[in-house]
Structures are given as C-alpha cells and as structure tokens.
C-alpha cells in the first residue's frame, strides 16, 4: 500500500478504489466466529491482560491470527488504540493479549480475525483504572 501511495497519484487510486467498490457484488455469508472475552487489570493503570476464546460452530477456533483494537463508543473517532496481535494461549481456541487504553469507561474491543477465516468481532467491555468487567447492556 505504501508503495502504491508513493507512486500513484492519490486521486487515481481513490477513483479506482471507488470503482472496485462499486463493481464487486455483495459477498456470501460464511459462518461467523464467536468470541468470549475476559480482561483483568494489571498493576499499570489502563493496561489490561485479556483472554479471548474463539469458537466457530460450537468448536474452538484454533490457529487464528487476531489483531485487536478498540474504540470508545461515547467518543467516536477521538481515540486510536495501537493494534496488538494476540498470542495463542494454553487451551485450544484461547488467545491472550495485553491492551493499553487511554482512559476508563466503556470500550468496544475490536477483534479482527485474519486466519484461518476472515472475521471481525466487536465486544463491549467496561474498563476502570485497574479493573475490567463485561459490559452489561
């Protein structure tokens, strides 16, 4: 992408991207993955250790590559959290990652699964300075 940006004028790429977006038909829906998230505070303020259990069709989803981000729904577009990649945990389908947020409150944790299936899951979670709990909605 970087190379394309430097070589091609942005307008051309933009128009091309728009045309591609226009031309492609809407996709088939594959079976979605399910996520169970559990986070806990660490000794560092606003840093949390999280575990996510991924499953698909009731079976653990193994060997997944997950990139994790987060948004704050009450302040849309105000925060950008540096994405982190999750590492496989002890149990099949379990992955762990460390999340560094900017402030307390309700966050929408974005789990982007890139392999073996492509998927994107959103889990709402409440974070205080040193603790975390699933969002009651």
- Positions touching another protein (CB under 8 A) are 1-2, 5, 10-11, 13-15, 17-18, 20-22, 24-29, 31-32, 67, 69, 71, 73-80, 82-83, 102-105, 108, 110, 118, 120, 122, 126, 128-129, 137
Cβ atoms 86, 121 nearer than 8 A: no
Look up tokens 């970087």; give the residue.
2
To which H or E segment does residue 16 belong? helix 10-23
Rounded to 5°, the CA angle 134-87-74 comes to: 35
* 125, burial (CB in 10 Å: exposed 0-12, middle 13-18, buried 19+): buried
CB 91 → another protein: shortest distance, Å?
A: 27
CB 133 → another protein: shortest distance, Å?
A: 11
Measured from the CB atom, the residue of 17 and 91 that comes closer to another protein is 17
Measured from the CB atom, the residue of 33 and 94 that comes closer to another protein is 33
CB 27 → another protein: shortest distance, Å?
A: 4
């Amino acid at each position: 992408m970087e190379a394309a940006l430097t070589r091609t004028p942005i307008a051309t790429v933009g128009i091309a991207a728009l045309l591609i977006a226009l031309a492609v038909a809407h996709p088939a829906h594959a079976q979605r993955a399910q996520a169970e998230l559990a986070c806990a505070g660490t000794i560092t303020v606003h840093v949390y250790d999280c575990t996510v259990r991924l499953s698909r069709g009731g079976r653990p989803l193994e060997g997944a590559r997950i990139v994790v981000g987060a948004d704050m729904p009450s302040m849309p577009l105000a925060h950008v959290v540096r994405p982190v990649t999750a590492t496989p945990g002890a149990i099949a389908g379990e992955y762990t990652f460390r999340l560094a947020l900017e402030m307390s409150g309700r966050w929408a944790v974005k789990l982007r699964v890139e392999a073996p299936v492509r998927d994107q899951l959103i889990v709402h979670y409440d974070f205080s300075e040193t603790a975390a709990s699933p969002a009651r909605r």
